[in-house]
C-alpha cells in the first residue's frame, strides 16, 4: 500500500484553543488512526483569523488549504469529503494565502504567525528568522541607524520613536544595561502581543537580542501578564530552545555578544503596563508609578539604563534589520510609518488580527475586514486604543488610523485595539465603567486618580438617577479636567477621555434612568 | 491539586524561585499556584528568607489582584468584565453565572468547589464573551455553553 503522510496544521493558540482546537487535534489523531490514515499533525500558531477558529489546514501539493471553523462533529464529514486532498467542503475556505481577510493585509511583523510551528526553531530560521540578528552581529553600528530609517514608533500605546529611545540607552554610561519587554498587554480589546508570542516567539527573542547588541545590554526581561499562561509556556520553551542553539547565551553564534532572557509574570495589575510601574514590579515591588525624569532609558531597572519596549515593537525589529529600514518605511503615512496590527473585537462578525499600513480608515477596517457587527445592527460606538481610549460615534468612522489624525479627534490609536458596539450598549454605563476601572486599577499615588475615579462613578450615578442633574453634569466636567491636569500618569490622565467622549457623542444615553 | 499551606513546601518554593527581594512577585505567584492563596505564615517566612519586613511583603501582596489571602475553591472561574466582552453580554453572563453557581463575584462556594472572580481582559476579545477556568480560556460563552462547562467541572 502506498501511504502518503499528509500534514495537518491545527493551531495551538489561545483563541483557537478557546474554541476547542486541542480537543479537535486529539480527536483527529484518533479518527485517522482508527481508519488507518497516515497524517502528521503540526500545532502551528494562529493566522489571527479568530472568527474562523479553529481554522485547520491541510498541506496539499498545491499549497495549504484551510477549513474552519471546525468542530469535533465535522471530523467525519471532512475525511469523507477527502479534505486531505484539499477537496471542497462546506467549511473549506480555499487556499489559506487566498483568504481575502488575510490576502488583503500587509503582513510584516506577523508574517510568520500561523505559518510556522512556534516550538520549532528550524521552521523559524527557514522563513528568514535570525537573518536580522546575523546582520546585526556583522554590523553592530548600523542597527540604530536602520531603526531610525524605519521610522518605527512604540506599539505599546504612546508611539514614541524607537530609534531615539535606543540611542539614549546606547549613549548612557553604565556597567550594566537592560532590555525590558513590556508584555503586560492590559488594554481590553487587544491581543496582538499574545498572538505574536504564541505564534512566533523567536521573533520577540530575536528582536530583544538585537536591541541588546545595539546598546550594549546583555540581559533582558519579558514582563508577561499572568492572564496569559499559554504564552508563558511557549516563551519559556522558545528561550530554552534558543539557548540550546546558541541564539541566546554567551558568545551568540560565536560572536563577541552575550544575551540572556528571563521571564517574569505580572500580578494582575493593569497599571503595571505603564513602564515605570512595570520596572518596580520587575524589581519585586508594588507597581506604583515612578516620577519621570529620570527616564528609564537613563535610570531604569535597578537604576540602570533600560530599553522598555512593547512586544510588537521588538518583534518588528528582526525584519527591519533583515530587509532594511527603508523597506519598512515604505508602508504607512505621514509620521506613522510601517504597519500596525489592528485587533477587531466585541460586536463584530469577523473578529481577529489585521496587520495593515497606517492610514486605513476605521470604517474601512470595520466593513471590509470586520464584516459589520455580529448582531447585524448598525455600528453605534467604537472604542479604539483600550480602556483609556475615546468612544467614537458613527460620524467619526472616516478618521484614518494614524497617530496624529486620531489625537486631533481626541482619540488614541494606542495598541491598535478596536472594540465595536451596537445600539444595545448603554454609554452611560460605559462611562461609569471607565471610572470604575480606574478606581480598581489606580496605583494610588495621586488623589485625582485615586479619589476622583470613585467620585466619578457617584457623579455619573447621580446624573442617570436625575439627582441634581445639571449640577452633577458640571461636576463631572470639572472632575475630568482635574484628573487630566492633576494625574501623574495616563491612568488617571486619560480615563476622562472615554467618559467625556461618551457624554459628548451619546448624550441621549445619559438621560434619566427611571424607565429601566 | 491545590495544597494546604505547609512550611517545608514553602521553603522549597522560595529556594527554587530564588530567595532575593527582586523575586518577590515571582515567589508569591509560585505560592498562589501551589496553595491558591498567601497565608499569613507564608508572609512571615518570605520576609525572613528574603530579608524584608513583613509590612513590605504585605504591601506587595495587597497591591496585586492575583495575590489573594484566602484559599480558593477547587476551581477558579474568571469572567471577563472588560469592554469587548461587555459589548457581547458579559454583564448578563456574569449575573447568570452568579445565579446558577450560587456565588457572587469574589466569593467561594460554601462547599469550596469553586471561586468566581472578575478579570479585565483575557486577550480573547475577538471571541467574546470570554471566561477562564483555572488556566483554560473559553470563547463565545453564552448561557448554554456555561451550563455545559459547569456540568463538566
Ligand atoms: C496605565 C498604562 C498602561 C500601559 N500598559 C501597557 C501595556 O500593557 N503594554 C505596553 O507595551 N505598554 C503599556 N503602556 C505604555 C508603556 O508605559 C510604555 O510606553 C511602553 O511600554 C513603551 O514601549 P514602546 O515604546 O515599544 O511602545 C501603558 C501605559 C500606561 C500609562
Ligand atoms: S494617575 Fe493614577 S495610576 Fe497614575 S500615578 Fe497617579 S494614582 Fe497612580
Ligand atoms: S475584553 Fe474580554 S477578553 Fe478581552
pLDDT tens track for A60-78: 999 999 999 999 999 999 9
CA separation, residue A10 to residues A23, A27, A79, A355 (Å) = 10, 12, 15, 22
- CB-based burial of residue A69 (10 Å sphere; 0-12 exposed, 13-18 middle, 19+ buried)? buried
Average pLDDT of span B69-94: 97
**Positions of E strands within A128-217:** 178-183
A18–B127 C-beta distance less than 8 A: yes
Residues β-bridged to residue A309: A181
The residue ranges of chain A whose pLDDT is under 70 are 1-3, 513-516
Q: What is the pLDDT of residue A511?
A: 86
Residues forming beta bridges with residue A41, ordered by sequence position? A8
Q: Is the CB of A487 under 6 A from ligand 2?
A: yes
DSSP string, chain B: ------HHHHHHHHHHH-SSGGGHHHHHHHHHHHHSS--HHHHHHHHHHHT--HHHHHHHHHH-TT--SS---SEEEEEE-SHHHHTTTHHHHHHHHHHHHT--TTEE-TTSSEEEEEES--S-GGG-S-EEETTEEE-S--HHHHHHHHHT-
Flag whether pLDDT at B61 surpasses 80: yes
The answer to whether the CB of A108 falls within 8 A of the CB of A339 is yes
Cβ of A228 and B123 within 8 Å? Answer: yes
- What pLDDT digit, counting tens, does each position of A408-449 carry? 999 999 999 999 999 999 999 999 999 999 999 999 999 999
pLDDT of residue A37: 95
CA distance A45 to A17: 10
- Phi, psi dihedrals of residue A255, rounded to the nearest 5°: -90, -175
What's the pLDDT at B1? 53
The predicted pLDDT at position A1 comes to 46
Nearest CB to A284 within list B25, B67, B135? B25
Q: Which of B29, B83, B139 sits opposite A383 (nearest CB)?
A: B83
Strands (E), A311-443: 332-333, 336-337, 339-346, 352-357, 381-384, 391-393, 417-421
In terms of Cβ atoms closer than 10 Å to its own Cβ (0-12, 13-18, 19+), residue A7 is middle
In the stretch 75-94 of chain B, residues with CB closer than 8 A to chain A read 82-88
- At residue A95, the 3 state secondary structure works out as strand
User: Which candidate in A24, A55, A277, A286 is best for mutational testing of the B interface (most B CBs within 10 A)?
Assistant: A286
Cβ–ligand 3 distance for B119 under 6 Å, the answer no
Rounded Cα distance, B130 and B81, in Å = 9
Which atom of ligand 3 is nearest to B121's Cα?
Answer: 4
Answer yes or no: do A17 and B136 touch at CB < 8 A: yes
Nearest to B83 among A189, A283, A422 (CB): A189
In the prediction, which pLDDT does A516 show?
44
Set of cell numbers at residue A497: 477621555
Query: Class of B75-151 per CATH?
Result: alpha beta
Burial class of A17 by CB neighbour count within 10 A (0 to 12, 13 to 18, 19+): buried
Positive or negative CA dihedral for A345, A349, A350, A356? negative
The structural domains of chain B, with segments of one domain joined by +, span 7-63, 75-151
Residues facing residue A57 across a β-bridge: A9, A66
Give the residue-averaged pLDDT of B50-60: 97
CA distance A467 to chain B (A): 25
A316 Cβ closer than 6 Å to some ligand 1 atom: no
Q: What is the number of helices (H) and of strands (E) in chain A? A: 21, 16
Atom of ligand 3 nearest to the CA of B82: 1
What pLDDT, on a 0 to 100 scale, did the predictor assign at position A513?
66
Whether A343 sits inside 8 A of B137 (CB atoms) is: no
Cell numbers at B92, concatenated: 448578563
A135-166 pLDDT, tens per residue?
999 999 999 999 999 999 999 998 999 999 99
In short, whether A443's Cβ falls inside 6 Å of ligand 2 is yes
CA of A141 to the centre of ligand 1 (A): 28
Q: Per-residue DSSP letters for A189-202?
A: T--HHHHHHHH-HH
DSSP classification of residue A159: -
Measure B71 CA to nearest chain A CA, in Å. 17
Q: Between chain A and chain B, how many beta carbons pairs sit less than 8 Å apart?
A: 156
pLDDT digits (tens, 9 = 90+) for B105-148: 999 999 999 999 999 999 999 999 999 999 999 999 999 999 99
Question: What are A198-215's pLDDT values in tens digits?
Answer: 999 999 999 999 999 999
Q: A320-331 as b/e, with b when 16 or more CB fall inside 10 Å?
A: bbbbebebbbeb
| Separation between Cα atoms, residue A137 and residue A500, nearest integer Å | 49
Domains and CATH numbers, chain A: 6-103 (3.40.30.10), 127-329 (3.40.50.11540), 332-421 (3.10.20.600), 427-515 (1.20.1440.230)
Output the CA torsion sign for B12, B15, B16, B22.
Answer: positive
pLDDT tier, B39 (very low <50, low <70, confident <90, very high otherwise): very high
> Over the range B15-26, which residues count as b (16 or more CB within 10 Å of their CB) and which as e?
eebebebebbbb
Inform me whether the pLDDT recorded for B2 exceeds 80. no
Report the C-alpha dihedral over residues A421, A423, A424, A428, rounded to 10 degrees: 80
* C-beta separation of A184 from B120 below 8 A: no
Name the CA dihedral angle for A327, A332, A336, A340, rounded to a multiple of 10 degrees. Answer: -90
Task: Give Cα B7 distance to the centre of its chain.
Answer: 21
Please check whether residue A20 is in contact with residue A71, taking contact to mean a CB–CB distance below 8 angstroms.
yes
The verdict on a CB contact (< 8 Å) between B29 and A269 is no
Shortest distance between the Cα of A231 and any Cα of chain B, in A, equals 11
The distance of B30 to chain A (nearest Cα, Å) reads: 10
Distance of alpha carbon A375 from the chain centroid: 25
Neighbours of B74 (CB within 10 A): 16
CA B138 / ligand 3 centre spacing (Å) = 11
Q: How far is the CA of A185 from the centre of ligand 3 (A)?
A: 11
The C-alpha angle A93, A94, A95, rounded to 5 degrees, equals 125
Query: For ligand 2, is residue A289 a contact (CB within 6 Å)?
Result: yes
Dihedral, A426, A432, A438, A444 alpha carbons, nearest 10 = -170
Q: Which atom of ligand 3 is nearest to the CA of B119?
A: 2
Please report the atom of ligand 2 found closest to the CA of residue A445. 7
Amino acid at each position: 500500500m502506498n501511504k502518503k503522510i499528509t500534514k495537518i496544521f491545527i493551531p495551538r493558540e489561545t483563541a483557537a484553543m478557546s474554541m476547542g482546537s486541542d480537543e479537535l487535534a486529539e480527536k483527529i489523531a484518533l479518527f485517522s488512526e482508527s481508519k488507518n490514515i497516515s497524517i502528521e499533525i503540526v500545532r502551528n500558531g494562529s493566522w489571527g483569523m479568530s472568527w474562523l477558529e479553529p481554522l485547520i489546514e491541510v498541506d496539499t501539493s498545491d499549497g495549504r488549504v484551510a477549513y474552519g471553523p471546525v468542530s469535533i462533529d465535522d471530523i467525519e464529514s471532512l475525511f469523507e469529503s477527502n479534505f486531505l486532498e484539499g477537496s471542497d467542503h462546506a467549511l473549506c475556505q480555499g487556499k489559506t494565502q487566498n483568504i481575502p481577510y488575510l490576502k488583503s493585509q500587509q503582513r510584516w511583523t506577523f508574517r510568520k504567525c500561523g505559518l510556522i510551528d512556534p516550538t520549532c526553531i528550524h521552521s523559524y530560521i527557514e522563513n528568514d528568522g535570525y537573518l536580522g540578528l546575523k546582520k546585526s552581529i556583522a554590523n553592530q553600528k548600523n542597527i540604530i541607524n536602520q531603526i531610525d530609517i524605519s521610522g518605527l514608533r512604540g506599539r505599546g500605546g504612546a508611539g514614541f520613536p524607537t530609534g531615539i529611545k535606543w540611542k539614549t540607552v546606547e549613549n548612557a554610561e553604565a556597567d550594566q544595561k537592560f532590555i525590558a519587554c513590556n508584555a503586560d498587554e492590559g488594554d481590553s480589546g487587544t491581543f496582538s502581543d499574545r498572538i505574536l508570542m504564541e505564534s512566533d516567539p523567536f521573533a520577540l527573542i530575536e528582536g530583544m537580542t538585537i536591541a541588546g547588541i545595539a546598546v550594549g545590554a546583555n540581559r533582558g526581561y519579558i514582563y508577561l501578564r499572568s492572564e496569559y499562561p499559554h504564552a508563558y509556556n511557549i516563551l519559556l520553551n522558545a528561550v530554552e530552545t534558543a539557548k540550546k542553539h546558541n541564539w541566546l547565551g554567551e558568545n551568540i553564534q560565536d560572536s563577541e555578544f552575550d544575551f540572556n532572557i528571563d521571564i517574569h509574570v505580572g500580578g494582575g495589575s493593569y497599571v503595571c503596563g505603564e513602564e515605570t510601574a512595570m520596572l518596580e514590579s520587575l524589581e519585586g515591588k508594588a507597581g506604583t508609578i515612578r516620577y519621570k525624569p529620570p527616564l528609564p532609558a537613563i535610570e531604569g531597572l535597578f537604576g540602570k539604563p533600560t530599553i522598555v519596549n512593547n512586544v510588537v515593537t521588538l518583534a518588528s525589529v528582526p525584519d527591519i534589520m533583515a530587509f532594511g529600514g527603508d523597506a519598512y518605511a515604505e508602508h504607512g503615512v505621514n509620521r506613522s510609518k510601517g504597519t500596525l496590527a489592528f485587533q477587531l473585537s466585541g460586536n463584530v462578525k469577523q473578529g481577529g488580527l489585521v496587520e495593515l499600513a497606517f492610514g486605513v480608515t476605521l470604517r474601512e477596517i470595520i466593513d471590509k475586514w470586520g464584516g459589520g457587527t455580529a448582531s447585524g445592527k448598525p455600528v453605534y460606538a467604537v472604542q479604539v486604543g483600550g480602556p483609556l481610549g475615546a468612544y467614537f460615534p458613527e460620524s467619526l468612522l472616516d478618521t484614518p488610523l494614524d497617530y496624529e489624525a486620531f489625537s486631533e479627534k481626541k482619540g488614541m490609536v494606542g495598541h491598535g485595539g478596536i472594540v465595536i458596539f451596537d445600539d444595545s450598549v448603554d454609554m452611560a454605563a460605559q462611562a461609569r465603567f471607565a471610572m470604575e476601572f480606574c478606581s480598581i486599577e489606580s496605583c494610588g499615588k495621586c488623589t485625582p486618580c485615586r479619589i476622583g475615579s470613585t467620585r466619578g462613578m457617584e457623579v455619573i450615578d447621580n446624573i442617570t438617577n436625575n439627582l441634581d442633574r445639571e449640577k452633577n453634569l458640571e461636576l463631572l466636567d470639572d472632575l475630568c479636567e482635574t484628573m487630566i491636569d492633576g494625574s501623574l500618569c495616563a491612568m488617571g490622565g486619560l480615563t476622562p477621555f472615554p467618559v467625556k467622549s461618551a457624554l459628548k457623542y451619546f448624550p441621549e444615553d445619559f438621560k434619566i434612568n427611571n424607565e429601566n | 491539586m491545590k495544597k494546604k499551606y505547609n512550611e517545608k513546601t514553602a521553603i522549597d518554593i522560595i529556594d527554587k524561585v530564588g530567595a532575593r527581594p527582586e523575586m518577590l512577585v515571582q515567589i508569591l505567584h509560585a505560592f498562589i499556584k501551589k496553595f491558591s492563596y498567601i497565608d499569613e505564615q507564608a508572609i512571615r517566612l518570605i520576609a525572613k528568607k528574603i530579608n524584608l519586613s513583613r509590612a513590605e511583603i504585605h504591601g506587595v501582596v495587597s497591591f496585586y489582584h492575583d495575590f489573594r489571602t484566602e484559599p480558593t475553591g477547587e476551581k477558579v472561574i474568571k469572567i471577563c468584565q472588560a469592554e469587548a466582552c461587555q459589548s457581547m453580554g458579559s454583564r448578563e453572563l456574569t449575573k447568570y453565572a452568579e445565579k446558577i453557581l450560587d456565588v457572587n463575584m469574589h466569593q467561594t462556594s460554601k462547599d469550596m468547589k469553586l471561586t468566581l472572580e472578575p478579570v479585565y481582559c483575557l486577550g480573547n476579545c475577538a471571541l467574546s464573551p470570554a471566561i477562564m477556568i483555572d488556566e483554560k480560556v473559553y470563547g463565545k460563552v453564552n448561557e448554554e455553553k456555561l451550563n455545559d462547562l459547569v456540568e463538566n467541572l
